[in-house]
Copies of this chain bind each other. A is one copy, B any other.
């Protein structure tokens, strides 16, 4: 059973667009924040620490997707529930569900990798196999 994190937020006026509803790209921003909180809740050290320990500088996205079912507006309190659904060899899948009370607003799916600096080109990154210790912490 994967560990989950619930990120709570209140929709700000500036999160909304002229249609009076949350501008859809903000859901992807909140997915990212909820994923970061999930890592912290599982005990994964900050990327500043892993960079020094095993070279991992972050978990960048290679794919992101969201399905939008219901809209939300400013002043409403939302919850983003997040968990790692699947571990591959070099990538993993994170799922997100955004709710307002019982109502599901949005469901998201991210594919991420763990990245180190490319030894051949310090301006580029490359994926490394999923570290066993991080996987164990999140499971």
Q: Does A29 lie within 8 Å of B58, measured CB to CB?
A: no
Oligomeric state, in copies: 4
Interface residue A14 (Cβ < 8 Å from any Cβ of B): yes
**Residues 25-74 (chain A) with a chain B CB within 8 angstroms:** 25-26, 28-29, 32-33, 36, 40, 46, 57-58, 60-68, 71, 73-74
- Is A20 positioned at the interface, with any CB of B under 8 Å from its CB? yes
Q: Note all chain B residues with C-beta closer than 8 A to A25.
A: 14, 25-26, 28-29, 32
Find out whether the CB atom of B58 lies under 8 angstroms from the CB atom of A63.
Answer: no
Task: Tell whether, in the assembled complex, residue A63 and residue B65 are in contact, meaning their CB atoms are under 8 Å apart.
Answer: yes
CB contact under 8 A between A19 and B60, given known A24-B28, A28-B28:
yes
Q: Do A36 and B13 form a contact, CB below 8 Å, given A29-B25, A58-B19, A60-B19?
A: yes
List 18 interface pairs A-B (beta carbons < 8 Å), by A numbering: A12-B36, A13-B33, A13-B36, A14-B17, A14-B25, A16-B17, A19-B57, A19-B58, A19-B60, A24-B28, A24-B64, A25-B29, A60-B68, A60-B71, A61-B68, A64-B66, A64-B68, A65-B65
Mark out the residues of chain A between 53 and 104 whose CB falls within 8 Å of any chain B CB in the assembled complex: 57-58, 60-68, 71, 73-75
